[in-house]
Amino acid sequence: MKKVSEYQKVKKGLIVVAVSLAIVSCQNADTNKSQRNKSVNSQQEVKQQQAEVLTALKQEQKRVANDTKLQVEQEQIVVTGSRVHATSYEADALSIQYAPPASPYPVIDQVNRENYKHFEDSGIFVTRENPVSTFSIDVDTGSYSNVRRMLNDGYLPPQDAVRLEEFINYFDYDFTTPSSTDMPFAVSTETMVAPWNKDAHIVQIGIKGFEPEQQQLPPSNLVFLVDVSGSMQSPDKLGLVKKALKLLVRESKTQDKISLVVYAGASGVVLEPTGGDQKIKIEQAIDNLTTGGSTNGGAGIELAYKMAQQGFIKDGINRVILATDGDFNVGTTNHEQLIDLIERKRQSGVFFSGLGFGTGNYNEHLMEELTNKGNGNYGYIDSLQEAKKLLVDQRAGTLMTIAKDVKIQVEFNPNVVSEYRLLGYENRALNREDFNNDKVDAGEIGAGHSITALYEVVLTDSSNKRIDDLRYSSAYQQQSQTHDQSLANEAAMVKLRYKLPDQETSRLTQQVINKADFFQRKANSENIQFATSAASFAQLLRGGRYLEGWSWQDAIDYANQAKGRDNNGYRAEMVQLMKMAQLLEKPEHSQVGMIEER
């Protein structure tokens, strides 16, 4: 009752103020014309004051009502996280804070702890000065699905999260396929005019791996290494990990073996090598996983390799599959030590793959490095649909390696090609001498994988070169033109080196791209058009430095035209993501993720 009487006093006082202000308003209305302009201003001020009074009155009514309700219910409510003082009415009211309703949209921190390796876009090379381009292939797709997660959450990705080759290679292409494992992959090439620069051409190098039937896959020995540290306590982390791994388990056969190792502050074996026909036992072990502790990733990897050796299958698939947000913070946290460990273990025939999960503290830089050195592949799972794509639809490619240490070297003819640039593969670049050195590590090809590399080239007769010719190079040019007329019709030589999974000596395959290929009047295939479209998407997200004014709308229109067959809807989804990026790039919408420096 005391609080109610206080409320009546406050209410009466506010009413008196309101009446007084109304009287003043009436008096001002009777002033003479000479003061009318001032009166109008005064009336406006009075109205503003009246509005403020009424607002204050409503707020006070609501505050007292809430306080009275709280007093009635206080014996039924346990308050945590705040301090409520009963000594004064004012302090009691100020101490009450009301939580806003949960938003259905994710909260995007302007600064987060996600970690991406910095790199610059591959530059333009003058063929006469640098005719040879060498790089390792890359079958990872994690960059694309990770960026998709950011766009779907309503913000643009940091540029370092965008790796162009992983955008291209996320999609499957209808390349020529090899007929047997004697040659584990087939190579095809194609050219077309660049859509963003009519004075340049796109050169596509397409690789398609041999894909056995599902029943022809060799038995697999898989060790699931699951991060159960405190940072994984989220539906899009451990919750999604469980669902993803169970999809893989359901595709397992009787001769397969599955183990489960977890790590947090300490590591442990949850499930020793178990036959693939014991699905209920394996799924129960997965369902029982819970989070807690910090992340001792190094110890977990060591234990996982011990389980892999325990269940090793000769002539089978032996692989450790890490599921984590990559936030290693105790134990073996030195990246070089982890990389050295995985490099040593791959010599035993046990390969290493990584599946990334989650947001906010995702360490993609480390995930990519570890899988590159483990002769495996890296994927980012942002949904159960992506888990199905990687672990069910592309199970053979994810698990079965058909060629390792695959390198590409392209030599351009300076009498045909004036300048070139490789689109993407910046962190896969190799020295020219690395191509023939079998000690240099490179990427792997999984069964059925499609790998695409794109070059943008400018021919010597182009009138719109990006780099001017040197004044004193004409004598050398004339000399080289007459050096060997038999090579005059060749634009480039494409060479690939690879090793079979159980061998350490590389094999060489090569083929020529002819000058005439640039001038053939035929329709471009869906392969090169859509790959170029995906490349333009990535380039725009990285700032579009070389796109000659190519806009988001240009890229969207071209992607719609280039979609072709789209059985799973992935290409149509990319178009929608491009539209989202176009909207988010507008200043009033953009909210670019920032990376904490380490």
**CATH superfamily for domain 125-212+401-464+487-595:** Gamma-adaptin ear (GAE) domain (2.60.40.1230)
**Mean pLDDT across 348-372:** 89
Residue 227 neighbours by CB distance under 10 Å: 27
Fold for 220-393, please state it: Rossmann fold (3.40.50)
Cα angle 47, 50, 54 (rounded to 5 degrees) comes to: 140
pLDDT(594) > 60:
no
Residue 84's pLDDT band, with cuts at 50, 70 and 90, is very low
Contacts of residue 174, Cβ cutoff 8 Å, sequence gap at least 6: 525, 526, 527, 565
Q: What pLDDT score does 329 carry?
A: 56
Does position 512 have pLDDT exceeding 70, yes or no?
A: yes
Per-domain residue ranges of the chain? 2-94, 125-212+401-464+487-595, 220-393
Per-residue pLDDT at 296: 57
Give the pLDDT confidence score for residue 273 in this predicted structure: 96
**Mean pLDDT over residues 193-201, rounded?**
95
Q: Which of 363, 378, 368 lies closest to 326 in space, CA to CA?
A: 363
Q: What is the pLDDT of residues 6-21, one digit of tens each?
A: 555 555 555 555 555 5
Question: How high is the pLDDT of residue 557?
Answer: 97
Report whether pLDDT(334) > 90.
no
Confidence of residue 475 (pLDDT cuts 50, 70, 90): very low
Q: How many CB atoms lie within 10 A of CB 396?
A: 21
pLDDT exceeds cutoff 80 at 390: yes
Tell me what the mean pLDDT of segment 459-471 comes to.
81
- % pLDDT > 90, the chain: 56
pLDDT top residue among 513 and 588 = 513
Q: Is the pLDDT of residue 86 over 50?
A: no
Answer yes or no: is pLDDT of 192 > 80: yes
Confidence at residue 473, expressed as pLDDT on a 0 to 100 scale: 63
Structure token digits, residue 327 = 């936030």
Average pLDDT over all residues of the chain: 81
Task: Please tell me whether residue 140 adopts helix, strand or coil conformation.
Answer: coil
Given a cut of 70, whether residue 238 has pLDDT beyond it is: yes
For range 396-405, the mean pLDDT: 92
Q: Rounded CA gap, 139 and 468, in Å?
A: 36
Minimum mean pLDDT among 60-74, 421-435, 524-538: which range? Answer: 60-74
- How does pLDDT run across 407-454, given as a tens digit for each residue? 999 999 999 999 999 999 999 999 999 999 999 999 999 999 999 999
Calculate mean pLDDT across residues 188-207. 96
H helices of 251-403, where? 279-287, 297-310, 335-346, 364-373, 384-388, 395-399
Question: Helix/strand/coil (H, E, C) string of 501-551?
Answer: CCCCCCEEEEEEEEHHHHCCCCCCCHHHHHHHHHHHHHHHHCCCCCCCCCC
Most confident range (mean pLDDT) of 108-117, 176-185, 336-345, 412-421 is: 412-421
Percent of the chain whose pLDDT exceeds 70: 74
Closest CA to 201 of 449, 8, 364, 419: 419
Q: What pLDDT is recorded for position 589?
A: 56
CA-nearest of 546, 254, 534 to 419 is 546
User: What's the rounded Cα separation, in Å, for the pair 2 and 65?
Assistant: 13
Where does residue 20 rank: exposed (0-12), middle (13-18), buried (19+ CB within 10 A)? exposed
Q: Where are the beta strands (DSSP E) in 15-126?
A: 111-112, 125-126
Taking residues 573-587, report their average pLDDT.
94
Judge whether residue 487 has pLDDT over 70: yes
Q: Is residue 590 over pLDDT 90?
A: no
**Mean pLDDT, range 457-481, rounded to an integer:** 72
Q: Is pTM, for the whole model, over 0.85?
A: no
Any idea which of 42-46, 244-248, 326-330 has the lowest mean pLDDT? 42-46
Region 330-355 average pLDDT: 80
Residues 177-190: pLDDT tens digits? 887 767 899 999 99
Give dist(CA 343, CA 335) in Å, integer: 12
Given this model, what pLDDT does residue 297 score? 61
More confident of the two residues 54 and 141: 141
Tens-digit pLDDT profile for residues 274-309:
999 999 999 999 999 998 766 556 678 889 999 999
